[in-house]
């Protein structure tokens, strides 16, 4: 009896010590999915430029699939939001370079909501047969929503834009960014399903053949499809060639303040053009057929100020070639971000007004509300830019050059419209000086590389302060500048007029994938309702 009493007493004494330890262990285990969700989001960010670790997107989606499988909608919402924060917080940090952390954090907080809703959708379809297909389609549906709302959308961070150096890139020519992004997400989710089935098979010694086949196909089909799509990528000149010059004049200093020195910015670009003209005259550089200046290379309206007109005209005459000049002009009381086609003999002959203008940068939504919160922002964006209404394709010495101004490169429709309007090559004039030496310029450069493959066109990227570049139709960069240096790039590039399947299909692949996502979610919801009814019965 004594031994028994002592044993029971010892047990009673030990229980209070072990119980807290077990509770702490349980709490830590509950934090594992949350930590995994956030870290897998960070892993996805690391897969984006300027790094060339595109393949990290696959384990990022694999972990995301593991975290979400079988979760309740509330848990999936939270885990999806953490994944979105882990991905978007570092990806978009450049948005706060000059205006402080407030706008950056607000943007990320809103954009991560879309990722959270995607998390709910992925969790819902995670128990369906062939769930990686449904889950990847749900992700693309989330990207489609982000590209359209709020304030006309913000597609930055599309999975496709992180794949400029990856094996999946040729799929952009098949169905654009939706198909490219779908393939990456499908391969990542399929990778997790393969691992899950292997672990389950070792434990139960039985795995359904159909499930195993779907898992393997989810990994294999995107890779095989990408290899097959390489036949769509070509650098062959279909309409001859053109020697193009990309001008990077640099700015007096980085940051928003450079707008106060806009005459200096104009002078810098005119000076670099005249320097190039001197090298051409000396026989050091081939004479360009066309010359491309960046966005905001003349923030002084040359149609109003005679001195700005004279500076541009002198530089254009020196290089003796048509020049696309990025200007800020006021017409009929409206402000436009405009590209101006400037002929060495005739002067300005054509214009293109930017159509996809940037909220909070080029116009201020909810101006009265924002002003009540922070009047500094309303003073920074004192007048809203107006939108253009037509595609911009300049006829420059016989070459059809499609203009996609800076922010527009992130939008599928904005680039495609130039190609369907006859562009044989594309120029993406940009101004990244506001964002200093952040990753923004490299992220935008990667977008241009994806667009080159998507539409099989040469893409030039003239930027005020760098990185400017020339990109071949296969997405490879042949020349580029440094940052915050005055420089010029001259190269003979191919002109092409054939259309890729992505160009011809336009928005149809995205619509199809959204419908697939809707079908999977409908199936999952129906299965859940039937399951609850059976339980009640």
The whole-number pLDDT of residue 374 equals 66
For residue 268, pLDDT beyond 80: yes
Confidence of residue 221 (pLDDT cuts 50, 70, 90): very high
CA 176 to chain centre: 13
Q: Which of 143, 187, 354, 408 is catalytic?
A: 354
- DSSP E strands in 344-409: the ranges are 347-353, 393-396, 399-403
The whole-number pLDDT of residue 15 equals 47
| pLDDT (mean) for 31-48 | 96
| pLDDT (mean) for 306-332 | 96
The whole-number pLDDT of residue 100 equals 78
For residue 425, pLDDT beyond 80: yes
Confidence of residue 3 (pLDDT cuts 50, 70, 90): very low
Of 211 and 5, more confident:
211
| pLDDT (mean) for 377-382 | 71
DSSP 217-270: HHHHHHHHHHHHHGGG-----SS-EEEEEEEE---SSSSGGGGGGHHHHHHHHH
User: 17-26, 381-390, 455-464: which range is least confident on average?
Assistant: 17-26
Which among 337, 497, 507, 332 has a CA at the least distance from the CA of 425?
497
What burial letters (b/e) apply to 18-47, b meaning 16+ CB within 10 Å?
eeeeeeeeeeeeeeebeebbbbbbbbbbbb
Supply the mean pLDDT for the chain. 91
287 part of the active site = no
- Give the contacts of 254 (CB within 8 A, at least 6 positions apart): 433, 434, 436, 437, 465, 484
The whole-number pLDDT of residue 14 equals 43
314 part of the active site = no
Q: To which H or E segment does residue 335 belong? A: strand 334-343
Q: Which of 158, 193, 406, 439 is catalytic?
A: 406
pLDDT digits (tens, 9 = 90+) for 185-195: 999 999 999 99
Helix (H/G/I), strand (E/B), else coil: 495: coil
The whole-number pLDDT of residue 21 equals 63
For residue 315, pLDDT beyond 60: yes
Which among 395, 256, 263 has a CA at the least distance from the CA of 328?
263
Of 432 and 51, more confident:
51
Q: Which of 295, 362, 408, 510 is catalytic?
A: 295
354 part of the active site = yes
CA 460 to chain centre: 17
Tokens of 62: 């694999």
The whole-number pLDDT of residue 11 equals 41
DSSP 141-173: HHHHHHTTTTTT---TT-GGGG-TTSTTGGGHH
For residue 129, pLDDT beyond 70: yes
């Amino acid at each position: 009896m004594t031994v028994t009493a002592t044993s029971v007493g010892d047990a009673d004494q030990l229980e209070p010590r072990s119980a807290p330890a077990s509770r702490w262990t349980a709490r830590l285990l509950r934090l594992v999915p949350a930590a995994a969700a956030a870290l897998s989001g960070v892993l996805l960010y690391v897969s984006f430029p300027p790094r060339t670790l595109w393949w990290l997107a696959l384990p990022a989606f694999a972990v995301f699939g593991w975290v979400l499988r079988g979760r309740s909608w509330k848990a999936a919402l939270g885990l999806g939001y953490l994944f979105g924060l882990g991905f978007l917080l570092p990806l978009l940090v450049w948005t706060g370079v000059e205006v402080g952390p407030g706008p950056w954090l607000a943007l990320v907080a809103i954009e991560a909501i879309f990722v959270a809703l995607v998390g709910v959708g992925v969790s819902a379809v995670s128990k369906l047969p062939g769930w990686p297909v449904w889950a990847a389609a749900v992700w693309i549906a989330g990207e489609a929503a982000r590209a359209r709302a709020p304030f006309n959308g913000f597609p930055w961070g599309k999975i496709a834009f992180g794949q400029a150096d990856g094996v999946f890139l040729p799929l952009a020519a098949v169905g654009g960014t939706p198909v490219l992004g779908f393939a990456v997400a499908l391969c990542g989710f399929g990778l997790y399903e393969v691992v899950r089935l292997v672990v389950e098979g070792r434990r139960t010694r039985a795995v359904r053949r159909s499930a195993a086949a779907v898992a393997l196909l989810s990994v294999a089909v995107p890779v095989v499809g990408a290899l097959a799509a390489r036949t769509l990528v070509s650098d062959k000149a279909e309409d001859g060639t053109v020697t193009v010059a990309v001008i990077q004049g640099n700015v007096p200093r980085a940051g928003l303040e450079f707008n106060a020195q806009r005459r200096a910015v104009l002078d810098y670009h005119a000076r670099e053009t005249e320097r190039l003209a001197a090298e051409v005259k000396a026989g050091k550089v081939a004479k360009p057929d066309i010359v491309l200046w960046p966005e905001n290379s003349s923030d002084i309206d040359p149609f109003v100020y005679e001195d700005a007109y004279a500076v541009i005209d002198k530089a254009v005459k020196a290089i003796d070639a048509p020049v696309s000049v990025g200007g800020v002009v006021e017409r009929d009381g409206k402000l436009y971000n405009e590209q101006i086609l400037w002929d060495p003999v005739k002067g300005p002959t054509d214009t293109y007004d930017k159509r996809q203008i940037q909220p909070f940068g080029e116009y201020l939504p909810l101006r009265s509300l924002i002003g009540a919160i922070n009047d500094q922002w309303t003073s920074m964006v004192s007048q809203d830019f107006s939108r253009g209404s037509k595609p911009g394709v300049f006829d420059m010495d016989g070459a059809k050059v499609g203009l996609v101004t800076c922010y527009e490169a992130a939008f599928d429709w904005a680039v495609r419209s130039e190609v369907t309007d006859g562009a044989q090559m594309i120029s993406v004039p940009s101004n990244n000086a506001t964002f200093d030496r952040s990753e923004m310029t490299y992220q935008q450069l990667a977008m241009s590389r994806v667009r080159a493959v998507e539409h099989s066109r040469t893409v030039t990227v003239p930027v005020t302060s760098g990185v400017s570049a020339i990109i071949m139709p296969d997405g490879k960069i042949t020349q580029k500048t440094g940052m915050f240096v005055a420089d010029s790039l001259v190269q003979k590039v191919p002109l092409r007029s054939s259309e890729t399947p992505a160009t011809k299909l336009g928005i149809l692949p995205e619509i199809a994938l959204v419908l697939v996502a809707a079908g999977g979610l409908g199936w999952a919801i129906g299965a859940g309702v039937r399951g609850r009814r059976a339980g009640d019965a």
